[in-house]
Amino acid sequence: MSLRSTVFAEIAAIAAEQEKRMPPITDDLVMLDTEFDSLCFALLVARMEDLTGADPFGEMDASDLPVTVGDLVALYDRAATRLAA
């Protein structure tokens, strides 16, 4: 599974578990404008670390904070590239 589809699948899984209604997940979706709250976001980051070994939030520049789902995928993409290097 690609990183992008992993991120999408985990967002959908967490939203379902936490009983949050989500609009269709797209790259442009601003996660925090939906019902996906801080706890959902925290779970997502923890699970992505378990799945990919990457914690891009822990090591990123402060200006890199993701706003959209697409930003988040890009953040994990860059982290994966760094891990592989």
Partner 1 sequence: MILRERLLAAGGLDGLFLSDHRSERDLAGIVSGGRDATVTAALTGRRVLLAVGGQMAAARAMIALDGLAARLALVPPKLAPEHIARIASDAEAEICVTDAEGVPPGALPGLPRIDAEDVFRAGSASSRETEWALATSGTTGAPKLVAHTLEGLAGGINTAATPEAGTVWSTFYDIRRYGGLQVFLRAMLGPSSLVLSEASEPVRDYLIRVGERHVTHILGTPSHWRLALMSAALDRLNPRYVRLSGEIADQTVLDALRIAFPQARIAHAYASTEGGVGFTVEDGQEGFPATLIGSRSGIEITVRDDSLFVRSSRTGRRYLGEAPETLIAADGFIDTGDLVERRGERYHFLGRRSGVINVGGAKVQPEEVETVINVFPGVSMSRVRARPNPILGAVVEAEVVLCAEADADLAALKKAIIAHCRPRLAGHKVPASVKFVDALPITAGGKLVRRGA
CA 35 to CA 18: how far, in whole Å?
10
26 binds partner 1 (CB under 8 A): no
By CB under 8 A, name the one of 9, 16, 33, 82 that touches partner 1. 33
Query: Residue 74 has which token pair?
Result: 């890009």
Query: Residue 56 has which token pair?
Result: 């891009």
Whether the Cβ atoms of residue 77 and residue 3 lie closer than 8 Å to each other: yes
By CB under 8 A, name the one of 12, 65, 81, 83 that touches partner 1. 65
Query: Residue 81 has which token pair?
Result: 């590239």
Whether the Cβ atoms of residue 39 and residue 18 lie closer than 8 Å to each other: yes
Min dist. Cβ of residue 44 to partner 1 (A): 8
66 binds partner 1 (CB under 8 A): yes
Binding mask 40-59 for partner 1 (x = CB under 8 A): -xxx-xxx--x----x-xx-
Min dist. Cβ of residue 72 to partner 1 (A): 9
